Amino acid sequence: MALQREHWISLEKYHEIERTSEIKYEYSDGRIYAMSGGTFEHSQIAINLSTILNAHLYGKMCRVANSDMKVLPLGGENPSYFPDVTVTCNPDDYQRGSTAIRSPRLIIEVLSPSTASKDRGEKLRAYQACASLDEYVMVSSHHQEVEVYHREGADKWTLTRYRHEQVVTLASVDLMLPVADIYAQTDVPPLGSILSTD
Q: Which of 128, 74, 69, 77 is nearest to 94 (CA)?
A: 69
Bridge partners, residue 111, by sequence: 140
pLDDT at residue 114, rounded to an integer: 81
Under a CB-based contact definition with an 8 Å cutoff, are residues 164 and 179 in contact?
yes
pLDDT at residue 8, rounded to an integer: 79
Q: How far apart are the first and last CA of the chain?
A: 13
pLDDT at residue 153, rounded to an integer: 87
pLDDT at residue 37, rounded to an integer: 66
Please give the order of strands across the beta sheet that includes 2-5. 2-5, 31-35, 25-28
DSSP H helices in the chain: 11-20, 40-57, 116-120, 122-128, 179-182
Under a CB-based contact definition with an 8 Å cutoff, are residues 11 and 27 in contact?
yes
Q: Strands, E, within 116-197: which ranges?
A: 135-140, 145-153, 156-163, 167-170, 175-178
Q: Which of 135, 33, 13 is nearest to 86 (CA)?
A: 135
Q: Which of 40, 136, 32 is nearest to 83 (CA)?
A: 136
Superfamily of 39-193 according to CATH: tt1808, chain A (3.90.1570.10)
From the CB of residue 72, how many other CB atoms can be counted at a distance below 10 Å?
A: 21
Per-domain residue ranges of the chain:
39-193
pLDDT at residue 1, rounded to an integer: 46
> Which ranges of the chain have pLDDT less than 50?
1-5, 194-198
Span 37-48, pLDDT tens digits:
688 999 999 999
pLDDT at residue 27, rounded to an integer: 85
pLDDT at residue 189, rounded to an integer: 95
Q: What is the largest CA-CA distance in the chain?
A: 48
